[in-house]
Each structure stands twice: as C-alpha cells, then as structure tokens.
Amino acid sequence: MTTASKTTQVYRVYIKATPEAIWQALTDPEWTNRYGYTGYAHYDLRPGGALEVVPNEEFKAQAEQQGFPVPDVVVDGEVIEADPPRRLVTTWRMLMDPAMAEEGFTRITYEIEPQQGGGSCSLTLIHELDGAPRVASLVAGEQEEQGAGGGHAWVLSDLKSLLETGSTLAG
C-alpha cells in the first residue's frame, strides 16, 4: 500500500468509563505514563498552550542501553482547542527520530461521546498527517514488526484495557 496518500487516519474505540475518566487518561501525565508508549504528557490545556511528552526513566534507561540518548521531550505540540471532557485538538510532532521530526507538526483531535444508555463512551482519534508519511506509517502500526509498537490502534486498545480492567495488556 502507499501510505503517502493516506493523510488522515481515524480511530474509534468504545470504553466503559465516564467522559471525565477518559479525559483524565488522555491529559494527566501520571495516566499517560501507564499505557501505550508511556511517557508523561504535559498539556497546558488552553489555546496556544504547550504539549510536551517526557519519557519515563525506564524508557530512557532502555535507550541508553542501546547506546543512544533519548531527547528530553519525545513529542511536542500546541493546544488548539481544549473542551474538557469532550474535545481536545493539538498539533503533534514526533521527536524520537530526526527524519520524523523533520516532517514537522501534524494535528490530532480527540472526541469523547457518551453513548445512549450510559456506562460507556466512544473515543475517536483523528490524526491529520499531511506531509508526514513517516509518522503516518508509524502511527498506523506498520512498523510494529520492527519494534515500533502498534501505533494508535494499539494505544487505544491498551487504554481501553487500563480503564476497564485496571491493567494494561503489556503489564
């Protein structure tokens, strides 16, 4: 397939949790460090506010073992819109890899919708990836066999597991 033509990706998962719990899992650094790629996501939740994802010690130690330093910030961006607990829009740049960093800022939207009957919400992630084919391939999970994790689908699956069962798939 050609990932270059695939400039927007959409992911949706249903989670048995309140919108507030899902919002917290997305925006509270202690929560973001518990699933998926881990790392402390620090959001200044107002338009123009900064987003910085700081790797945890274990992640850094693993990297050093492999003989290279991890940047102090692995993802950065800027908050465009923050409407807790329903909608969050930010720019998003991957800094772990120089070629991906060069592709610049992409844009991520999270939408949280309570479902009829209560008890669960849909969480939709829209990633606009114009001009960022490397990042697109990464977040689509196409490099999982090379050890790059399963991208957004994997992260959302892990998040669902954490919120519904209290533990992640990895843990």
Partner 1 sequence: MTDEDELHSVFRALADPTRRFLLDLLFARDGRTLTELESELSMTRFGVMKHLKVLEDADLVVTRRSGREKLHFLNPVPIRLIHDRWIDKYTERRITTLIDLKDELENPS
Residues forming the site for partner 1 (CB under 8 A): 1-2, 5-14, 37, 59, 62-63, 66, 68, 70, 74, 96-97, 99, 124, 126, 138, 140-141, 143-144, 146-150, 153-154, 156-158, 160-161, 169-170
Q: Which is nearer to partner 1, 78 or 144 (CB)?
A: 144
Task: Report in angstroms how near the CB of residue 138 gets to partner 1 at its nearest.
Answer: 7
Edge-to-edge strand order for the sheet containing 40-43? 8-15, 121-128, 106-114, 87-94, 75-83, 50-54, 40-43
Q: How far is the CB of 129 from partner 1 (least distance, A)?
A: 10
Rounded Cα gap, residues 56 and 128, in angstroms: 27
Taking the least distance from each CB to partner 1, the nearer of 12 and 72 is 12
Which two tokens mark 77?
A: 């961006």
Tell me, what DSSP letter sits at residue 84?
A: T
Distances (CA, A) of 10 to 79, 84, 111, 119: 19, 20, 11, 23
Shortest CB 111 distance to partner 1, Å: 10
Identify which of residues 11 and 31 has a Cβ nearer to partner 1 in the complex.
Answer: 11
62: number of Cβ within 10 Å: 12
Q: Cβ of residue 75: shortest distance to partner 1, in angstroms? A: 10
Residue 24 vs 124, nearer CB to partner 1: 124
